[in-house]
Amino acid sequence: MATIVQNINDGKNYVLLGSGYGAFRATAPSAFFGNLAPQTNKGELPLVLVTNASGETAWMYSNAIRVISVDGQSPASALASVADAQDKRGTA
């Protein structure tokens, strides 16, 4: 089965293929001290890989999607079944 996600901005549905976590760091010489005191930019990009009905893939920010279904169940149903299994085993 698949995990179906929805783009929060445009409402289109996609199949979730996987997640990635991009990090970057760029260094450039400063105007006054050159390489002795370089300017550094860094950041993180939490991304997920999705595909549309045509099979075209795209990277999207993870905070721009909403999970619609997991293996044909709503997220609430999927989590409830996990909680039930944990209760039966006596774990939380």
pLDDT of residue 89: 75
Per-residue pLDDT, 20: 80
- Residue 76's pLDDT is 92
Q: Where are the chain's structural domains?
A: 3-20+47-89
Q: Which residue has the higher pLDDT, 32 or 18?
A: 18
Residue 91: which pLDDT band, with cuts at 50, 70 and 90? low
Sheet holding 57-61, edge to edge: 57-61, 34-51, 13-30, 3-7, 65-70
Model confidence pLDDT, tens digit, residues 45-70: 899 999 999 999 999 999 999 999 99
Q: What is the rounded CA–CA span in Å between residue 16 and residue 18?
A: 6
State residue 92's pLDDT score.
58
